[in-house]
Structure 1
Amino acid sequence: MRLLFLALLLVSPLCFGKTVVVIQSYHLEYKWDADYIDAVRSVLGQDHDLHVFELDTKRLSKPEWPQKVAEIQSKIANVNPDVAILGDDNAFTLMADHLVAQKIPVVFLGVNGGPVQHPTLEHPLVTGILERPFFSESIRHLRKILRQKERFLVLMDDSPTMRNAVNEYFGDKRQATIYGSELDIVLTNDRDTWLDTVVNAHERYDAVVLGTHHTIRDKDGEYVIPYDLLKEAFYRAQLPLFSFWDIFVGEEQSIGGFTISAKQEGLTAARLASLILNGMRPDQIPQLKSLSGHYVYSASGLEHWNLDLSPMIASQANFVE
């Protein structure tokens, strides 16, 4: 049955003339959002009336969110969509209840929380893709490309997104063994702690694998720009930095790895939406976890850390430079 569903997902035909809204948690200049929206447009944009709205919750302060939500709710009422695609946890938290109350089917992507954090995930009008880092697959891959591969540091911000991902996979443990490699998992929102952990990682580990770092603040409580933080880590680290997400791979960032693809998440969400537009009920469509990652690498990062990919891995990888 699952194989049949996945086959339908890949080849689902599109009906014509329907209205779709995409509601971003963040903003179009944020690479994750830009990549998945491009993917959604590639599937739905030619045949449907597609509207994209930004909640902008990375740049707006929390007290400003209710006004932005009200603005988008008003716009949704005007376009009367046949289906709504919600990107990431904040959009789901802020918009899902309102949409299902209006009898609008919801497809989500990039959601890390489960039913405890988001009870509306269990509503019959809701389906989508739960975003989950590829912990095992990433470590297995890194073991193939590193000479020293016994101990890894997994470093993340202490956000609901990362706590949910870690707790679902590891439970309460912050140490684990995967494919014979030992992992220590550190979650922190403190800039100095995060950077010190990176800088001193060579004393205990063979490599660092990064999760998100978007809720980190300095000692004065000021928000730390993620790109600036990662750039500083790139130059101060004495070990190679890898990533679970492709949006953190590039010049003066992480080297790469087996990563979640925003494009793939967007393609899958758009295909789920197309099934609904063709008459399937959301509760007939099983909720999925991130279906497939991809190998993404920075050429300058590989050079910086004097690493070479095998011909086989290089032939399968996407290079961002």
Structure 2
Amino acid sequence: MRFLLLALLLASPLCFGKTIVVVQSYHIEYKWDADYINAIQSVLGKDHDIHVFELDTKRLAKTDWPQKAADTQNAIAELQPDVAILGDDNAFTLMAQHLADRNIPVVFLGVNGGPAQHPALDHPMVTGILERPFFKDSIRHLRKVLSERERFLVLMDDSPTMRNAVNEFFGEKREATLYGSQLDIVLTNDRDTWLQSVFDAHTQYDAIVVGTHHTIRDAAGNYITPNELMTEAFARTQIPIFSFWDIFIGKQQGIGGFTVSAHQEGLTAARLASLILGGVSPDKIPQMKSLSGHYVYSESGLQHWNLELSPLIASQANFVD
């Protein structure tokens, strides 16, 4: 079934003049959103009418989300789209059931929660890509990059997103061994705990690999941005920091790694939407996990840590800054 679906994705049927809505959990200035929307536009924008809506849930107070969702639902009802593409968990939570119940096919991307968190995943009008970090592939890759690679600290926020990803792959364990490397997994929403884990990591570990860190707050309850956290972590860490996501890689951020790509997620979602626009029912399209990652590296980060990629990896990598 997987190979059949891949074949269909590569040969999506031609269909013209349809209306598509894309609902972002966040906002267009957020790199993850910008990357997947550009990918969707590259596949569908030439032949279809695409309308993009921001739920803006990173910046709006949670108490304002229901009204924002209602306004978006009303705007979508006026458009009567042929398919809706929902980006990330908040858009799925706020929009999927409503749209599917109105017989609007839903394609999702970037969703980390499972059916327990998102019952609408089981709706016959819903299909898409469950976003999952490439734990095994990332560690296997880093073992090729690093000479010291016995122990890794995997550091994430304690969000439903990361708990679901970790529990799905590792179960309840917070220690694991992959390809001979020992992993210790720390999930926390406390700024001081997160940063102290980074500062102390050199006493036990050879490198740090970060997951998402979007739900971190200080002792007073103030929200700490991912950029602020990573900048301070980069300035004070004594061992290199890698990432499972490409959006956390750059100058004074993560060095790189084998990462989840928003662009790839967007391409896949657009191809699934194309299948639906061509007449394939969503319940005939199996939901899938992230299909492929990519190598992304910060040139300044490699220089800072005096690391050099092999010619093969370098030839396949995207470089930033």
TM-score by length of 1: 0.99
Aligned to 1:47: 47
CA distance in 2, matches of 1:206, 1:225: 26
Aligned to 2:22: 22
Structure 1's consecutive aligned runs of 4 or more residues displaced over 2 angstroms after TM superposition are: none
1:198 CA displacement: 0.3
CA distance in 2, matches of 1:75, 1:149: 52
CA distance in 2, matches of 1:65, 1:2: 36
1:154 CA displacement: 0.2
What SS does the corresponding residue of 1:113 show, helix, strand or coil? coil
Give, as a single letter, the amino acid of the residue that structure 2 aligns with 1:265: E
Aligned to 1:225: 225
Unaligned runs of 5+ in 1: none
CA distance in 2, matches of 1:295, 1:2: 24
CA distance in 2, matches of 1:11, 1:319: 30
1:2 CA displacement: 2.5
What SS does the corresponding residue of 1:133 show, helix, strand or coil? coil
Aligned to 2:9: 9
Residue pairs, 1:1-321, within 5 angstroms:
1-321=1-321
Unaligned runs of 5+ in 2: none
Give, as a single letter, the amino acid of the residue that structure 1 aligns with 2:163: R
Give, as a single letter, the amino acid of the residue that structure 1 aligns with 2:127: T
Give, as a single letter, the amino acid of the residue that structure 2 aligns with 1:299: E
What SS does the corresponding residue of 1:103 show, helix, strand or coil? coil
1:102-158 Cα shifts (integer Å, max 9, x gaps): 110000000001111111101100000000000000000000010100000000000
CA distance in 2, matches of 1:144, 1:13: 40
CA distance in 2, matches of 1:14, 1:135: 36
CA distance in 2, matches of 1:220, 1:30: 26
1:154-184 Cα shifts (integer Å, max 9, x gaps): 0000011000000000010000000000000
1:171-211 Cα shifts (integer Å, max 9, x gaps): 10000000000000000000000000001100000000000
CA distance in 2, matches of 1:52, 1:106: 14
1:4 CA displacement: 2.2
What SS does the corresponding residue of 1:200 show, helix, strand or coil? helix
1:13 CA displacement: 2.8
1:8 CA displacement: 1.1
| Count of aligned residue pairs for this structure pair | 321
CA distance in 1, matches of 2:160, 2:65: 18
Q: Percent identical across equivalent pairs?
A: 75
Give, as a single letter, the amino acid of the residue that structure 1 aligns with 2:160: P
CA distance in 2, matches of 1:44, 1:61: 32
Give, as a single letter, the amino acid of the residue that structure 2 aligns with 1:175: E
Give, as a single letter, the amino acid of the residue that structure 2 aligns with 1:191: R
CA distance in 2, matches of 1:197, 1:2: 40
Give, as a single letter, the amino acid of the residue that structure 1 aligns with 2:285: I
1:312 CA displacement: 1.2
CA distance in 1, matches of 2:176, 2:31: 31
Question: Which of 161-170 and 6-15 deviates more?
Answer: 6-15
1:70 CA displacement: 1.0
Give, as a single letter, the amino acid of the residue that structure 2 aligns with 1:226: P
CA distance in 1, matches of 2:87, 2:125: 16
CA distance in 2, matches of 1:219, 1:243: 25
1:49 CA displacement: 0.7
1:226 CA displacement: 1.1
CA distance in 1, matches of 2:312, 2:3: 28
Give the alignment's Cα RMSD to 1 decimal. Answer: 0.6
